[in-house]
Structure 1
């Protein structure tokens, strides 16, 4: 199963964007699944305020864990992921990907009602997982 497929299954199971990406790489990183799930729990929806997409945050966590002790290597790898993500999604920000700020008013409910987590966020999750996988395999 590819990283993209794993991330898709994880998102379909109810994990947020950050969890879905980080958990897709947990086994490869020898990162305990439950620890990774809990660590990433509060980073969905752009840290719950529409900022940097949680799929990018999950990518950063995975790279930081992989290159612990070599932040320059992690940052360089993350830069490649972010550039590819920006090219595909048009923004790194949750509020731009969704088209509104999830933290304002009833926008969380709006996202649920409109299935935006499926139709807008899921492609971002899959793109991040695929890009992260490509970068990790190239290093």
Structure 2
């Protein structure tokens, strides 16, 4: 396991949100301090709180923006490349598809907690996002 993957997983296991764990693993190499990364990625967890795009993927897309944000074309192409790689490593792009439940609902959150999905599936998604970024040269 690469250092970035381990670091992202450690951040997540120690209480950071998925989006924060991924962004904070990579942010300093692109000139963003960890405190700011922590703050700007906070609301992206749990699929932006509506079980939509996975927070780990959103955190990674912020990393891509840090590196390629000066060019819409490059940033968009790199984001698409990342999402293909991420989808290959998980069971989708949307939080609800990856988890198999909609955590924007009380029922879905209860299921995720009861089945330990945050500690298994989400840890794997965080690892998948970090690994995809590593493989793509971030």
The residue number in structure 2 matching 1:65 is 66
User: How big is each residue's C-alpha offset from its partner over 1:1-46, in whole Å with a ceiling of 9 and x where there is no partner?
Assistant: 6210110111111111111110110121121101000100010010
Where structure 1 has 5 or more consecutive residues not aligned to the other structure, the ranges are: none
TM superposition outliers: structure 1 runs of 4+ over 3 Å: none
2:106 corresponding residue in structure 1:
105
- What 5-or-longer segments of structure 2 have no aligned partner? none
1:116 corresponds to which residue? Answer: 117
C-alpha contact 2:27 2:34 (8 A) present in aligned 1: yes
Return 73-82 or 18-27, whichever deviates more.
73-82
Q: Partner of 2:86 in structure 1?
A: 85
Moved more, 101-110 or 13-22: 101-110
Deviation at 1:106, TM superposition (A): 3.7
Tell me how far apart the structure 2 counterparts of residues 90 and 115 of structure 1 sit (CA, whole Å): 17
Distance across 2 between alignment mates of 1:125 and 1:17: 6
The 8 Å contact of residues 101 and 111 in structure 2, kept in 1 or not, is answered as no
Q: Classify the secondary structure of the residue corresponding to 1:125.
A: helix
Residues 74-96 of structure 1 show CA distances to partners (whole Å, capped at 9, x for unaligned) of 11111111111112212101001
Kept after mapping to 1: 8 A contact 2:51/2:94: yes
TM-score by length of structure 2 reads: 0.92
Match of 1:28 in 2: 29
Q: Residues 64 and 71 of structure 1 are in contact (CA less than 8 Å); yes or no, is this contact kept in structure 2?
A: no
Q: What's the TM-score, normalizing by structure 1? A: 0.91
Measured in 1, the distance between the counterparts of 2:5 and 2:128 equals: 7
Cα distance per residue 1:90-139 (max 9 Å; x no partner): 210100111110011243243233321111111011011010122135xx
